[in-house]
Amino acid sequence: MKKVINVIICSILTFMLTSNIVLAQVSYTIEDINADVPGLTQIGELGGKNLYKFKCDGNEYYMFSGKSRIIDYKKDVFDFFVKKLGTTAYIWTGKYYMIYSNDISWDMAYNTDQWKTSHGKIMLYDENFNLTKEYTAPSYIAEAGCDNGIYYYKTLDGTTYVSSDAEQWELGERNPEQTRKWHDTYISADYVGEQYILINHMSFDGDKFYDICYEKNCDQVKSFSGELRTVAAPYIIRNQRTFSENETHSWIGISKDNVYYTYIDLNSIQFGNEDKKRVEAYKVFATDDYLYMELEEKMPFSSSKIPQQIRIKIPLSEIEAELNASIEAPIVVYNNKILGFENVPVIENGNTLVPIRFLFEQMGADVDWEQSTQTATISQNNTTISFDINNPVARVNGKNATMNIPAQLINGKTMVPVRFLSEELGYTVNWDGDKRIITIE
């Protein structure tokens, strides 16, 4: 069964969280979860599940049927690790392919104490798939990876061991930066273009990671950002839920840089049941023409009901222009945090305009807005700045001062010149054109 739906502003693409893009209309198709997907080619079977290959943005990927992560496809690598060794849990460390295995199943390790006396194994293969190093761990390996030449593995109780050569291991004391890098089970950090991404964190060089503070979600402790992954370069997907006293809201975010997202409101998708508050995307993938999302209603652990599943299909042509525009927007860093604005900053005549309230409230300033005169006022310490929309003359402690560009209303947000206002409040503003980063200190 297929159903084509045209969705007007904010009914499916809703911008209450961190979205920066306003789409006039987007269409999507609801499909049966077992419907054929053009562009998917079955290339094998592993563990009773079919394996499918597809192409997106000129690159090839593969995935399992059902719940699955998306993996880069290279035929020689796939043939050796998947077809010959029967595993998809491999990574390229820059020098070796790294895999691990255990002598008992995950279910047995999780449900019994046998993981304490079982043994895991870490193996390194060179680029020609020759076994180069092999290490037997004294207990079950729950996760393993490599970051900048440092190998690590974790046991089921969370104990971490590290090594520089995968031969001599010692207990690891991970600092916050390392913890972020080692967040994912199989990879140290997803890599997109020239940026490394994790949930709520990003690095421009793979070394220093910045927190990302998303507008309207920055200080809410009752929010949840679920699994984040590159579904097929260059798309980044995140599950997100927000909680209020009476409602749980589910979203799926689409981005190309992990800073500026377009969110799809999963609660608005009709599942055929009355309670649509617990819906999540368990798999998202893209072909050259469409973005596919496989959705499932989340059931209580005690429920015996089989959760419903559907697939929605979104034409990439309807979101590609807006996503491309967001990756060209400047990124603002304040207090070592990247600010994920609702409306992306824009550059006009060499001046960057940013949404006023989120930035300056992060700085600790008071922001007031007078609708009748369209006047904004920013106050911090002994400085007060007032200005009107479309008027380049501001008032700093009662004295006129000319801005290079006036404040503007864009998509209902007051956008202001970041350098003028920040410097008038005593901050230093630096611009890195190569990385499109504005740093405020």
Residues 306 and 240 in one domain: yes
Residue 105 lies in a domain: no
Q: Lowest-pLDDT range, 51-55, 98-102, 242-246, 343-347?
A: 242-246
**pLDDT one-digit tens code per residue, 351-367:** 999 988 888 888 999 99
End position of a domain, from candidates 287, 311, 328: 328
- pLDDT attached to residue 212: 83
**pLDDT one-digit tens code per residue, 139-152:** 898 888 887 778 88
**pLDDT one-digit tens code per residue, 150-206:** 888 888 888 888 898 999 998 875 444 444 443 333 334 455 555 666 666 676 766
Task: Count up the domains in the chain and report the number.
Answer: 2
- pLDDT attached to residue 263: 73
Residues 296 and 358 in one domain: no
Residues 369 and 308 in one domain: no
Q: Is the pLDDT of residue 422 over 60?
A: yes
Residues 334 and 435 in one domain: yes
How high is the mean pLDDT of the chain? Answer: 77
Q: Is the pLDDT of residue 2 over 60?
A: no
Residues 354 and 302 in one domain: no
195 burial level (CB within 10 Å; 0-12, 13-18, 19+):
buried
**pLDDT one-digit tens code per residue, 206-228:** 667 788 888 755 544 334 444 55
Once rounded to an integer, what is the mean pLDDT over residues 408-437? 89
Residues 252 and 287 in one domain: yes
End position of a domain, from candidates 328, 351, 376: 328
- pLDDT attached to residue 278: 66
- pLDDT attached to residue 294: 82
Residue 112 lies in a domain: no
Residue 218 lies in a domain: no
Residue 248 lies in a domain: yes
Residues 288 and 379 in one domain: no
Once rounded to an integer, what is the mean pLDDT over residues 246-256? 73
> Which range, 67-71, 195-199, 385-389, 431-435, is most confident?
385-389
Query: pLDDT tier at 386 (50, 70, 90 boundaries)?
Result: very high
End position of a domain, from candidates 328, 355, 370: 328
Residue 281 lies in a domain: yes
Residues 389 and 379 in one domain: yes
Residues 345 and 268 in one domain: no
Residues 336 and 428 in one domain: yes
Once rounded to an integer, what is the mean pLDDT over residues 384-399? 94
- pLDDT attached to residue 176: 40
Q: Lowest-pLDDT range, 52-61, 248-257, 276-285?
A: 276-285
Say if strands 3-8 and 195-198 run parallel, antiparallel, or are unpaired.
unpaired
Residue 32 lies in a domain: yes
Q: Is the pLDDT of residue 411 over 60?
A: yes
- pLDDT attached to residue 222: 38
Q: Is the pLDDT of residue 389 over 70?
A: yes
Residues 247 and 228 in one domain: yes
Once rounded to an integer, what is the mean pLDDT over residues 301-314? 76
* Proportion of the chain above pLDDT 70, given as a percent: 74
Q: Is the pLDDT of residue 429 over 90?
A: yes
Residue 334 lies in a domain: yes
- pLDDT attached to residue 300: 66
Once rounded to an integer, what is the mean pLDDT over residues 366-394? 92
- pLDDT attached to residue 221: 32
Residue 238 lies in a domain: yes
What predicted TM-score, i.e. pTM, was given to this entire model?
0.72
Residues 9 and 49 in one domain: yes
Q: Is the pLDDT of residue 44 over 60?
A: yes
User: What range does the domain containing 295 cover?
Assistant: 1-64+223-328
